[in-house]
Amino acid sequence: MATNKNRQWLLKSRPEGMISPDQFQLAESEVPRLNDGEVLAKVLLLSFDPTQRAWMSMDTYIPAVNLGEPMRAGGIAQVIESRHSKFRPGDLVNSFCGWQEYVVFQPDKPKFVPVTRIPGHLDPKLILALSLTGLTAYFGMLEIGCPKRGETVLISGAAGATGSVAGQIAKLKGCKVVGIAGGEEKCKWLKEIGKFDFAIDYKSQDIGRELDRICPEGVDVYFDNVGGPITDEVLLRINQKARVVLCGAISQYNQKVEEMYGLQNYLSLVINRARAEGFIILDYLDRALEGLLKLTSWVESGNLIQEIDLQNGFENIPSTLLRIFNGDNVGKQILQLAEPPLPIRTNPAEQLIFRIMQKLSGLRG
Ligand SMILES: NC(=O)c1ccc[n+]([C@@H]2O[C@H](COP(=O)([O-])OP(=O)(O)OC[C@H]3O[C@@H](n4cnc5c(N)ncnc54)[C@H](OP(=O)(O)O)[C@@H]3O)[C@@H](O)[C@H]2O)c1
């Protein structure tokens, strides 16, 4: 392995305003030799997430990426060499892989997120999507939004990875679900595939007028992915005891601090005795299995569609990050770097246990 080269995209400069591919630099180094307790894996799939914009520029819930280091990114990799007793060549693992072709993990000293083996019978693209944005939608909607049958649930950024799953979960809970997204094609996806009751195209329609027409009864749960003026319009239409799930505010991530949008209508939270609560999915990592069992069983039963927007090729990594800020993606943005070089290791006992646990989670409703 020591003769292999590892291509990487390093963070070259911190963005101010809109990110650009120029902020990354291509580098090549030797694939390192392993020490005891380490695992070498080939990166197969990379996840693209709006939070990477924050990781490029500042310390937030985790520290910023250092300049000159590979850009941080979630991903799926295949173990090709192991000096750790719990990992074997052929295993698929889910963790922060970074923008590089090979990654060395120290599973006993994980950095920010654990190194998790995923059962070999599951589709790695699906697991990558569900384990990041799927779980965000699941816990954000169910634990903070707490939707009740018959309530009206509104999602911004609704055709994206998190929004599309959050809306479908609210639908499964018996709610009237409305999505806000950019463009006719995305709104069509929401209604025809995502089974949302209504969709509003914020690029061509007046959101306030559409909300008054579609939801004269007001909004009980607002799952917010975008922030800014869209959220201000929604705040004017929340009901008493509404729950505002502050998942993210992508409309503001590329703004300079002095240009960030300040909400005008937040007093609506007071008047309506409503609750706005932010969360970070890392807080729910100890319940990840519970969420994944549920989400995968919904996908298998056809009750949840996880749309995946797949790009390819190492050279396209920086430009793929821009897709989510330009709104080019429908569903979860993933890039495939490589096919698994080894047969994927499956473990029939583990597969059986997963299936049984899925069934049990289904019985719990
Ligand atoms: N709290 C957490 O732990 C957590 C975890 C994961 C994600 N998030 C947050 O969830 C949100 C969605 O993330 P995701 O990974 O699922 O991405 P995504 O929704 O798949 O992709 C981003 C989407 O945002 C929309 N967008 C981009 N710029 C916009 C703007 N200026 N105004 C309105 N919409 C804009 C685009 O859709 P349109 O074409 O519809 O504009 C784009 O497709 C983000 O705010 C992210 O930070 C939070």
- Note the pLDDT tens digit of each residue in 91-148: 999 999 999 999 999 999 988 999 999 988 889 999 999 999 999 999 999 999 999 9
For residues 185-190, average pLDDT: 98
Task: State whether 101 and 180 are in the same domain.
Answer: no
On whether residue 293 sits in a domain, the answer given is: no
Smallest CA separation from ligand 1 atom 37, residue: 327
Domain containing 71 — which CATH number?
3.90.180.10
On whether residue 128 sits in a domain, the answer given is: no
Task: State whether 108 and 148 are in the same domain.
Answer: no
pLDDT of 220 strictly over 80: yes
Domain containing 145 — which CATH number?
3.40.50.720
State whether the beta carbon of 124 lies less than 6 angstroms from ligand 1.
no
For residues 47-56, average pLDDT: 97
Do residues 325 and 249 touch, judged by C-beta distance below 8 A?
no
State whether the beta carbon of 325 lies less than 6 angstroms from ligand 1.
yes
Facing residues of 120 across strands? Answer: none
For residues 233-242, average pLDDT: 98
Q: How many domains does the chain have?
A: 2
For residues 152-165, average pLDDT: 98
User: Final residue of a domain: which of 283, 298, 329?
Assistant: 283
On whether residue 295 sits in a domain, the answer given is: no
State whether the beta carbon of 227 lies less than 6 angstroms from ligand 1.
no
Task: State whether 278 and 311 are in the same domain.
Answer: no
Domain range for 179 is 140-283
pLDDT band of 355, cuts 50, 70, 90 = confident
Task: State whether 190 and 241 are in the same domain.
Answer: yes
Task: State whether 218 and 337 are in the same domain.
Answer: no
pLDDT band of 32, cuts 50, 70, 90 = confident
For residues 317-330, average pLDDT: 97
How high is the mean pLDDT of the chain?
Answer: 95
pLDDT band of 259, cuts 50, 70, 90 = very high
Smallest CA separation from ligand 1 atom 29, residue: 251
State whether the beta carbon of 324 lies less than 6 angstroms from ligand 1.
yes
Task: State whether 19 and 151 are in the same domain.
Answer: no
Do residues 230 and 180 touch, judged by C-beta distance below 8 A?
yes
Task: State whether 163 and 79 are in the same domain.
Answer: no
Task: State whether 278 and 144 are in the same domain.
Answer: yes
State whether the beta carbon of 38 lies less than 6 angstroms from ligand 1.
no
> 3-class DSSP state for residue 199?
strand
Task: State whether 346 and 268 are in the same domain.
Answer: no
pLDDT of 3 strictly over 60: no
On whether residue 270 sits in a domain, the answer given is: yes
On whether residue 313 sits in a domain, the answer given is: yes
Ligand 1 atom index nearest CA of 162 = 16
**Burial of 54 (C-beta count, 10 Å sphere; 0-12/13-18/19+):** middle
Task: State whether 108 and 215 are in the same domain.
Answer: no
- The Å distance, Cα 245 to ligand 1 centre, comes to 14
> CA torsion, points 37, 43, 47, 51, in degrees to nearest 10?
50
Per-residue confidence (pLDDT) for residue 365, from 0 to 100 = 65
pLDDT of 231 strictly over 70: yes
pLDDT band of 2, cuts 50, 70, 90 = very low
Please count the CA atoms within 13 angstroms of the CA of 22 that sit on its side-chain side. Answer: 4
Per-residue confidence (pLDDT) for residue 60, from 0 to 100 = 95
Q: How far is CA 319 from the centre of its chain?
A: 18
Task: State whether 220 and 338 are in the same domain.
Answer: no
Smallest CA separation from ligand 1 atom 32, residue: 251
Consecutive H or E run containing 11: strand 5-11
Per-residue confidence (pLDDT) for residue 91, from 0 to 100 = 97
State whether the beta carbon of 139 lies less than 6 angstroms from ligand 1.
no
Q: Residues in the chain, how many?
A: 365
pLDDT of 190 strictly over 60: yes
On whether residue 288 sits in a domain, the answer given is: no
On whether residue 311 sits in a domain, the answer given is: yes
Per-residue confidence (pLDDT) for residue 111, from 0 to 100 = 87
On whether residue 301 sits in a domain, the answer given is: no
State whether the beta carbon of 152 lies less than 6 angstroms from ligand 1.
no
- The Å distance, Cα 133 to ligand 1 centre, comes to 10
pLDDT of 55 strictly over 60: yes
pLDDT band of 150, cuts 50, 70, 90 = very high
For residues 256-275, average pLDDT: 95
pLDDT band of 65, cuts 50, 70, 90 = very high
User: Final residue of a domain: which of 283, 299, 332?
Assistant: 283
pLDDT of 209 strictly over 50: yes
Read off the pTM. Answer: 0.96
Task: State whether 352 and 241 are in the same domain.
Answer: no
What distance in Å separates the CA atoms of residue 81 and residue 339, rounded to the nearest whole number? 16
